Structures are given as structure tokens and as C-alpha cells.
């Protein structure tokens, strides 16, 4: 009987933790490993944002729209650059935006994190990087972009041979 109860408790615990957390702590190396996972499979669009960044919040719906429109054609990776004390606020924002996939919360020293991600990044937010199927950077920019810019850059890598 003890074994059965223990088994049930373990199963319930694993269910309660699987898929519930959409905002996962990650170092720059861990985030780059995620990008590497899709190499040879599909393009990746990675966006760095924060709840305190108005341009980030403005462009967020564009990315969600494209994620739905081109579902399966590319991988969207969000990385929150929020301060540690705003983690709950970041998770709340993601849920409000309808994000139902794993996203990342930056951990580590800023300078080291930034240079590991891209030598072209000054640390300003928002920051976006587009990778083709071969894992090569095809575009990156700091600052807010319009829907058309995101879509154009995405279609370039989605339609590559």
C-alpha cells in the first residue's frame, strides 16, 4: 500500500511540474545550446525583451502572430532580460500574451551574457537574431521592428533551399 501511495504521489508531482513553467532560468550558453538543437531542422528567431521595455512590449504581439501563422516552419525563442525581482511580472506578461511554450529568463553577468549571445549586441532591448536552418545568423538588430520586418526576415530563412 505504501508503494502504491508513493507511486501516485510521484506521478502527481511530475505532472504538476511538467509544462507548467513557461519561464525557465538560462545562461547564455544554455540559450545558445537551444539554438543549436534546431540546426539542420528549422530556422530560429530569438528575441530578447523585458517588461520595462516599451518597444519590446509593442513588438511582442507581432512575434506571437508570426509564430501562429508559420507554426512549425521556425522556432521562436523568447529571452526575458528582466531584473530578478520582476521575474513574476515577466511570467504574468507571457501568460497574458498567450505564450504556452518554454521561454527563458536571463541569468548570469550582463557583459558575459551579451558577448556570448552576439558580438553585435550592445545589450539594448529589444534585440532580435534570426538564424537559418544551418544555424547561421542571417539578421540581427537592436530596437523595435515592425511586423513586416520580422516577416520578411523570417520568410528569407523559411524559404531558403
Residue 36 DSSP class: H
β-strands 75-80, 127-131 pairing: unpaired
Q: How confident is the model at residue 161 (pLDDT cuts 50, 70, 90)?
A: low
Report CA-CA distances (Å) from 85 to 20, 55, 81, 94. Answer: 20, 21, 11, 16
Residue of 153, 152, 161 lying closest to 133 (CA atoms): 161
- Nearest by Cα to 45 from 62, 29, 28: 62
Is residue 28 predicted with pLDDT exceeding 90?
A: yes
CB 69 within 8 A of CB 99: no
Rounded to the nearest 5 degrees, what angle is found at the Cα of 63, between the Cα atoms of 17 and 53?
Answer: 85
Cβ-contact 60, 144 below 8 angstroms: no
Domains of the chain, earliest start first: 22-158 (3.40.30.10)
The C-alpha cell 504581439 sits at 61
Q: Is the link from the previous residue into 126 a cis peptide, with omega within 30 of 0?
A: yes
pLDDT in tens, 36-94: 999 999 999 999 999 999 999 999 999 999 999 999 999 999 999 999 999 999 999 99
| pLDDT tens per residue across span 114-159 | 999 999 999 999 999 999 999 999 999 999 999 999 999 999 999 9
Task: Give the C-alpha distances (Å, rounded to integers) separating 38 from 1, 88, 103, 114.
Answer: 45, 28, 15, 21
Q: For the chain, how many residues are written? A: 161
Percent of the chain with pLDDT over 90: 86
Amino acid at each position: 500500500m505504501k508503494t502504491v501511495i508513493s507511486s501516485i504521489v510521484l506521478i502527481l508531482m511530475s505532472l504538476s511540474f511538467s509544462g507548467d513553467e513557461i519561464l525557465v532560468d538560462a545562461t547564455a550558453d544554455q540559450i545558445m545550446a537551444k539554438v543549436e538543437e534546431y540546426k539542420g531542422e528549422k530556422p530560429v528567431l530569438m528575441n530578447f525583451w523585458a517588461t520595462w521595455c516599451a518597444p519590446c512590449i509593442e513588438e511582442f504581439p507581432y512575434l506571437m502572430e508570426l509564430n501562429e501563422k508559420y507554426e512549425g516552419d521556425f522556432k521562436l525563442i523568447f529571452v526575458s532580460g528582466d531584473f530578478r525581482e520582476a521575474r513574476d511580472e515577466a511570467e504574468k506578461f507571457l501568460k497574458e500574451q498567450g505564450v504556452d511554450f518554454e521561454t527563458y529568463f536571463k541569468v548570469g553577468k550582463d557583459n558575459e551574457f551579451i558577448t556570448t549571445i552576439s558580438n553585435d549586441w550592445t545589450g539594448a532591448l529589444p534585440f532580435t537574431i534570426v538564424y537559418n536552418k544551418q544555424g547561421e545568423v542571417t539578421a540581427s538588430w537592436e530596437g523595435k521592428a515592425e511586423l513586416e520586418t520580422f516577416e520578411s526576415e523570417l520568410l528569407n530563412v523559411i524559404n531558403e533551399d
